Amino acid sequence: MKKHNQNLLHDRRSFIKGISFALGASALGMPLISFSTGAAGSSETGSDSEFETVRPSQKKLGVALVGLGSYSTHQLAPALQDTEKCHLAGIVTGTPSKAEAWKRKYNIPDKNIYNYDTMQQIKGNPDIDIIYIVLPNGMHAEYTIKAAETGKHVICEKPMATSVEDCKRMIDACNRNNVKLSIGYRLHFEPHHQRVMELGQQKVYGAVNKIEAADSFVLRGDPTVWRLDKELAGGGPLMDLGIYCVQGAIYTLGNEPSAVTAKFGEITRPDYFDEVEQSIDWQMHFQDGAVAYCSSSYNDSASRLYGKAKNGWWELQPSFGYSGIKGRTSEGPMNLPNVNQQARQMDAFAECILENKESRVPGEMGMRDVNILMAIYEAARTGKKVQIS
């Protein structure tokens, strides 16, 4: 099988300066996305025409975004214009033209603009309080540790890392430097998912016995995107999308699974999926007898979280998008608002810093989830039920 553009993707320095980072489309709630250089992604792509005039921010905690791809461009930066307790103060990018465009759009001073070689200089910058890592999964550990060493608090996008060992190193680095670490689990701050937490954990309809979760999209376009590269992505749709299913099942019940079973799906597009899985189905088994039936694919369309309890049920569909989430229960529609999830997420972390309290979505949660993801992969490879240690 071919390797995905080895000279480009496996050279990290070249990668961060030139390649398109593709965004997890399920998070957008979109069933079909084309990936190519300059398209949606955690990329350093884009042009001046993407930007609109924004209002100047008030004095709040300063956030520096590391990686100016689609998620930063279309979600995080706009959300920072709606936050109450933080604002966009700086950027880290390997693309000078991108830096210039963001400088003009957001009135970012030159002293708050860094590249990947000068990022450590943030240490002496009082304008920046939080560093947000928005890079491919395989780079999360390296840059979270670098961010912690500047003495700034850190948000890292999901999944936290590509190994439990890297998660531990990230947590240790933040503890060593006395900074807080939060994972970009935006749905913990979304009303529909908060209602699911309440319904399940408070046993509003009795004990939950079954959960169904599916998060998938059809990946098309350039087959050399980073999420198809095992080193950079850590895996396929399980890492990118399936983590939402893992999260959904756990916060529905308020408990962690005791074991998992899993099976890889058939590979029908080997030109794309020669390093990572095309699809995967798995089950999460809980001590109280509840089972979560989950699936994730880069060759399907799905966005659903369902819970069945003794005396009722609930469903979010679509479930995992940035907006447009809809919910219903056995008693009728949820009638809850859609909100700016990223703004709420970042404000909550700023509040943790200002009030010196722990994040609702800390590094330990991210490490827990990566441990479960690794167990799912082991179960799929071996065909055996794997206990969660």
Q: What residues are annotated to the active site? A: 158, 244
Residue type, 322: Y
> What is the rounded distance in angstroms from the CA atom of residue 12 to the CA atom of residue 204?
49
Nearest to 243 by CA among 213, 210, 209: 213
Burial class (CB in 10 A: 0-12, 13-18, 19+), 271: exposed
Residues 159, 133 contacting (CB under 8 angstroms): no
Residue ranges of alpha helices (H) inside the chain are 6-9, 12-18, 25-28, 70-71, 77-79, 96-106, 140-148, 164-176, 191-201, 230-233, 237, 243-253, 341-355, 363-382
Residue 238 DSSP symbol? I
- Between CA 70 and CA 36 the distance in angstroms is 12
Residue with tokens 């309290």, as numbered in its chain: 357
For residues 146 and 248, give the distance between their C-alpha atoms in angstroms, rounded to a whole number. 30
Quick check: helix, strand or coil at residue 154? strand
In angstroms, rounded to a whole number, what is the distance separating the alpha carbons of residues 88 and 246? 31
Inter-residue contact 327 to 315 (CB < 8 Å): yes
**Secondary structure of 177-212 in the HEC alphabet?**
CCCCEEECCHHHHCHHHHHHHHHHHCCECECEEEEE
Paired tokens of 369: 């989830």
